[in-house]
Structure 1
Amino acid sequence: MKDDRSAEWPPLLDKRQIQDMVHGPISLFYPLDRIVDTREFQRLRDLKQLGVTHLVYPCSTHSRFVHSLGTYWLAFKFVENLKRDTSLNISGQDHLCVSLAALCHDLGHGPFSHLFDGVFRDASRAPKYTHESLSIRLLRRIVNDKEIRDTLEQYLGKGEDFEMNMTFTEELISSQKFVRARYFMKKLELNR
């Protein structure tokens, strides 16, 4: 939902350049750079994307951190291209929500990639915990930091607007609730 009082995203002059081996230069736009600097996100540097695959293929040492940056960049560019079709009416807030979801979709992963999911669920006797649900909880924890919330509110609005945009972001991460996210995707399909 577009709040006319919100700043337009992305702020083209406020970005951090990151060099990626696969994607080349990645522009990490404010305030997403603030999220990458958090302890919750930085822990992804130590988690292998491919679990124990490196034991068989020693060069497969891709981290969740690098994967998340690449996923963000692909999602960012995808929505950037879709925005060229003005009939889709994709707002800067939509763009930020999709980019934020892509960046944070793996926050809840533990060690050993998806092997951790089953072991953790079984050990905790909590079938509702998935890496997606933990990603959402960690994202909420990050967003509860006043400084980060204030920066996000510049683009996502305040109060109800902010909560609606965060719900949209969480729907994209969970792929289970998918209310507004499904509407967003349906809108894209209808306008092909």
Structure 2
Amino acid sequence: MKMREDRPEEWPPLVEKRQIQDMVHGPISLFYPLDRVVDTREFQRLRDLKQLGVTYLVYPCTTHSRFVHSLGTYWLAFKFVELLKRDTSLNITGQDHLCVSLAALCHDLGHGPFSHLFDGAFRDASRASKYTHESLSIRLLRRIVGEKEIRETLEQYLGKGDEFEKNITFTEELISSQKFVRAKHVTKKLKAVTWLYQGHLYLDS
């Protein structure tokens, strides 16, 4: 697939690249190029991370992984934005849709062994580093999109250069869970708030 020279392609593509059968959500459509992200070592590592820490030692059925959880989170986020896009006044673009889907898919990349159980012990032992699994998720996402093949597939939909960086920054902000900040350049009547990175405006009516 080649990106048109005039502008990035619309996302999602008309046909999903891969379909995954999930016990909770049923068939999950994994649209290109997110299937490429799932195939990376950084994402496949989530197969070995317990979602609920050591809970499975008491409740044997709670053995599901961060991998399965992340796929479900992606699918719910994808469907949620899909519904919001029906309201054309929101001006939600295909790039927005992909950024939200990518953030949902990768939001837990930075978890350590046994998930939040690791969070507590590791964070207590390394207060100087200000460790959070969200910050590590962002670092791992940067490593993934830094790979030439992955970046080129994402550029087909997220643009190149500054446009690409703006969209990846937006994705990182979604993962970091930063609060909205009040936009100074917008009138009070609009009651607008904006992401920490300028350019992605959320209107609160």
Q: What TM-score do the two structures reach when normalised by structure 2? A: 0.85
SS, match of residue 126 in structure 1 = helix
Query: 5 Å matches for 1:1-150?
Result: 5-150=7-152
Q: For 2:40 and 2:101, locate their aligned partners in 1 and report how far apart those are by CA, in whole Å.
A: 17
Q: Residue 172 of structure 1 contacts residue 178 of structure 1 at CA under 8 Å; is this kept in 2?
A: no
Higher relative contact order (CA 8 A, sep 6+): 1
Equivalent residue in structure 1 for 2:169, among 157, 167, 170: 167
Aligned residues of 1:108 and 1:133 also touching (Cα < 8 A): yes
After alignment, is 22-31 or 168-177 more displaced? 168-177
| 1:156 corresponds to | 158
Contact 1:171 1:177 in 2 (8 A): no
Output the CA distance in 1 between the equivalents of 2:96 and 2:123.
Answer: 32
Please give the secondary structure, in 1, of the residue aligned with 2:28.
strand
d(CA) in 2 for partners of 1:9, 1:174: 23
SS at match of 2:30: strand
| Alignment CA distance shift 1:80-1:144 (3 Å) | same
Q: CA deviation at 1:62?
A: 1.2
For 1:124 and 1:74, locate their aligned partners in 2 and report how far apart those are by CA, in whole Å. Answer: 34
Q: 1:122: Cα distance to partner?
A: 3.0
1:177 is displaced (CA, Å) by 6.2
Distance in 2, matches of 1:147 and 1:77, equals 27
Question: Higher Cα Rg: structure 1 or 2?
Answer: 2
Task: Indicate the percent of aligned positions where both proteins have the same amino acid.
Answer: 85
Deviation at 1:112, TM superposition (A): 1.6
Gaps of 5+ in 1: none
Over residues 33-68 of structure 1, what are the superposed CA-to-partner deviations in whole Å (9 max), with x where a residue is unaligned?
Answer: 000000000000000101111011100111000000
Q: Secondary structure at the match of 2:128?
A: coil
More helix by share: 1
Tell me how large the CA RMSD over aligned residues is: 1.9
Distance 1:185 1:24, change over 3 A: farther
TM-score, length-scaled by structure 1 = 0.91
Q: 1:124 Cα shift?
A: 3.4
State the Cα distance separating 1:176 from its structure 2 match.
2.1
Amino acid at match of 2:113: P
1:185/1:27 Cα in 2 relative to 1: closer, same or farther (>3 Å)?
farther
Paired residue secondary structure (1:50): coil
Q: Distance in 1 between matches of 2:153 and 2:41?
A: 17
